[in-house]
Chain A
């Protein structure tokens, strides 16, 4: 006889849970300790000193301004698209949704690079069309407004997705009931639909704010040239300029960003719980309000916006990558693939970065899949108090700004306990940081799919005598394989393009693709940066198309842009 029938399950859960907690929550806890101690003693003296510096306060102000106004831009764009796509009878919705997802999947430094290619005096595209402003005039995007605009575009997908999910949860009956009760026109909108969607809108806004706050690529590419410093770029500048001697100071800054982010995360959690109240009634038929004669003009307008924010910058990027030197107009006689050949085939750093990024992304996806599959199942089947706590905290490394996680990782791994060894400066610190950061990206789709799995599947195997290992191998893993694959592709996609974490953790030899693009642009090699960026955009699109094609085989809720 055994104590408790689920003893083996309990043991395995405990073991994996400890590994997962060490990976994801230990760095965050380590950072917290560092921020509160000054040379080994608890206290707020260092924190007070750092917070009193004028650069800290101005960076905080800049961060808050760009993040909140950027969120506003996302809100306007994302909400408009979400209402129109979710509630009306537009055509080609699937294509529209797919296109709206692309800005989120394209790394922010590439977004910033591509937009600078369609504006300013040296824009190849504008020169080619003869529209370029005179030399000497400034790049309009190198400003707070530029950062706000691009943050808004980058994150509009988040608002779009959360709001659309909320709108689709409204049963058509609620609107029909309002109509039959005599509510006309706009009355239905502001008395029925809007109140029902406010929680999801608020939750989406909060998480967009947190993401915008943590964004590094856009303020780094646009703000640093303009001398407009936000908190993440301040941390980067300090660490890049002064090395690990300023680690204590920088961790106070990281905690400051973290604190603002946590407020946003808590707000999002709060609104999400509010939302659950409304999930009543059948949602088999989502709303479809006919637009009538306005349909075609609305469709043209929406696609025009999609073209402006998606296609136009890509053309700018392409144009820049095809000229022999930055600033030369693109003509039949000037078009050349030199930059492509140079950056993809000749530069050893690019080849190294490809290997690094590919290995890191692939390794992270693989390790996370192996870790998350049994963990998600065991947490679903036999939850413990610890596993529930972990469930509520595991989003933290992903939701917290990347800068915060990077600093936390340095603190944790710069001096391995009980040894003199350090992982700082090696590829492993980036790898562990990726494991922590993308844990939620892998775990949540798996969890969603396992929640839909009939618990009787495992119990049936158990009742015919299958041990825990046999149940996992023969029943649970084959059944959750599609979700695991989708999660792995998403992890790969995000890790492949990652900049924020690796920008703080890289050293010579461990560059990632994100770092290489950033450095190429920084050193004025804009054409090569554009060629590399175009390559990455194509890889991203290819992977997204792959997920899209496979999406029919995935359970509901696994692919983030599918419902």
Chain B
């Protein structure tokens, strides 16, 4: 096992770029999530790692081994990369039993019959599939099929496991339990995992670090906490969690704190930048009080179970989201207080 290093990797499909200038490093044993809206290039990046696509520019290295080089046009084909891949459609071979599906990678590697049997049994037990070994894929439920796909890629002890939206076809309840399967598997094996998803809750729940992608670029690559609390730009602030990005003027920074004008209020903000230009207002930055200086009108109320999400419109027309335990009616005037939101700089 080893680190995966990408150096200015790009991929164009018939002229239009799907992935642009990505330079980053996935550490050995990390659980990485690639998160972004559809069409952001996350699946293309995963397929570049697997070797199903050839990069148009840049190089990909595993440890000290070059596996793809866009300049020379050379690459190690997928079958020689020793990576596991879990497909969105599971891609179980319908004409093979569960056991054969799982043991196939070992057959390919020319293991002895005895080794194949032991390792297959181990993989089946690890994924809780022991009793289904003789079944055909068509006789399994969605969650079971996903486990077979996972068992198939872990049986050959890959350097890295690549997962392409593996939970997209499962229902909500099953997703939660499969998330536990993935995190347990990651803890036990210590394998590097790269997980593509468009569901931020999924990414936050499992990943050590998340690469948020848009327009073929990584917008921010950080821990889940940092992505939520300290977004680097408007896209990340708006894509991760609920929030409204509003401009900020008249910034004053001293050694301990920064202040600035936001929606006509002078407030304290958190920032690492010397001169931040925008703040991200999340529901927890807004407190409802009759005396609040920022006046806003309730435009929509959504019950979230135990609390309400209020969509309010301030006097200057900005849409702000607040959470409350008390119910408010649409059209009611409120006062809001802003408490130390995160501020960042963007052109």
Contact = CB atoms under 8 A, between A and B. Distances in A.
Say whether A associates with B: yes
A457 B91 contact: yes
Contacts of B128: none
Contacts of A6: 77
Interface residues of B, number: 36
Interface in A1-58: 1-8
Contact of A5 (B78, B108, B153): B78
A462 interface: yes
A467 B77 CA distance: 10
Contacts of B82: 465
Interface stretch (B25-33, B48-56, B267-275, B339-347): B48-56
A266 interface: no
B79 A465 contact: yes
B84 A463 contact: yes
Interface stretch (B68-76, B226-234, B294-302): B68-76
Contacts of A464: 79, 84, 104-105, 108, 152-153, 156
Contacts of B109: 465
Q: Which among A8, A463, A467, A470 has the highest number of chain B CB atoms within 10 Å?
A: A463
B91 A456 contact: yes
Nearest to A460: B91
A5 B84 CA distance: 17
A2 B75 contact: yes
Nearest to B77: A5
Contacts of B79: 462-467
A5 B75 contact: yes
B153 A463 contact: yes
Contacts of A462: 52, 77-79
Given A5-B51, A479-B93, A463 B85 contact: yes
Contacts of A465: 79-80, 82, 105, 108-109, 156
Contacts, number: 90
A1 B66 contact: yes
Contacts of A466: 79, 104, 108
Contacts of B94: 479
B93 A460 contact: yes
Contacts of A7: 77
Nearest to A464: B105
Given A463-B50, A465-B156, A2 B76 contact: yes
B89 A1 contact: no
Q: Which among B77, B81, B87 has the highest number of chain A CB atoms within 10 Å?
A: B77
B54 A5 contact: yes
A2 B52 contact: no
Q: Which among A3, A460, A467 has the highest number of chain B CB atoms within 10 Å?
A: A460
A2 B81 CA distance: 12
B280 to A, nearest CB: 38
A461 interface: yes
A53 B66 CA distance: 71
A475 interface: yes
Interface residues of A, number: 25
B108 A470 contact: yes
Interface in A424-468: 454, 456-457, 459-467
Contacts of B81: 463
B95 interface: yes
Nearest to A474: B104
B182 to A, nearest CB: 18
B73 A3 contact: yes
B83 interface: yes
A478 B95 contact: yes
A4 B75 contact: yes
Q: Which among B51, B89, B104, B149 has the highest number of chain A CB atoms within 10 Å?
A: B104
Contacts of B87: 454, 456, 459-460
Contact of A460 (B73, B77, B85, B156): B85
Given A1-B66, A4-B73, A454-B91, A463 B54 contact: no
Contacts of B77: 2, 5-8, 462
Given A464-B105, A464-B152, A465-B80, A3 B74 contact: yes
Interface string B149-166: 100110010000010000
A8 B104 CA distance: 21
Contacts of B85: 459-460, 463
Contacts of A467: 79, 108
Given A5-B54, A470-B108, A479-B95, A463 B78 contact: yes
Contact of B54 (A4, A456, A474, A478): A4
Q: Which among B51, B79, B82, B104 has the highest number of chain A CB atoms within 10 Å?
A: B79
A1 to B, nearest CB: 4
A457 B93 contact: yes
A13 to B, nearest CB: 15
Contacts of A459: 50, 52, 78, 85, 87, 91
A474 B107 CA distance: 11
A7 B83 CA distance: 19
Interface string B88-108: 110111110000000011001
Contacts of A454: 87, 89, 91
B51 to A, nearest CB: 5
Interface in B33-59: 50-52, 54
Contacts of A4: 54, 73, 75
Nearest to A479: B95
Given A460-B85, A463-B84, A2 B74 contact: yes
Contacts of A478: 93, 95
Contacts of A457: 91, 93
Nearest to B51: A5
A502 to B, nearest CB: 38
A5 B78 CA distance: 7
A382 to B, nearest CB: 11
A464 B123 CA distance: 15
Interface of A: 1-8, 454, 456-457, 459-467, 470, 474-475, 478-479
Interface of B: 50-52, 54, 66, 69, 73-85, 87-89, 91-95, 104-105, 108-109, 149, 152-153, 156, 162
- Please name the 10 residue pairs, one residue from A and one from B, whose CB atoms are nearest each other, closest first: A456-B91, A464-B105, A5-B77, A463-B85, A460-B91, A456-B87, A1-B74, A462-B78, A478-B95, A465-B108
24 contacts: A1-B69, A1-B76, A3-B74, A5-B54, A8-B77, A454-B91, A456-B88, A459-B87, A459-B91, A460-B93, A462-B77, A462-B79, A463-B81, A464-B104, A464-B105, A464-B152, A465-B80, A465-B82, A465-B105, A466-B108, A467-B79, A478-B93, A479-B93, A479-B94
Given A2-B77, A456-B88, A460-B87, 15 more contacts: A3-B73, A4-B73, A5-B75, A460-B91, A460-B149, A460-B152, A462-B52, A462-B78, A463-B50, A463-B78, A465-B79, A465-B80, A466-B108, A474-B104, A479-B94
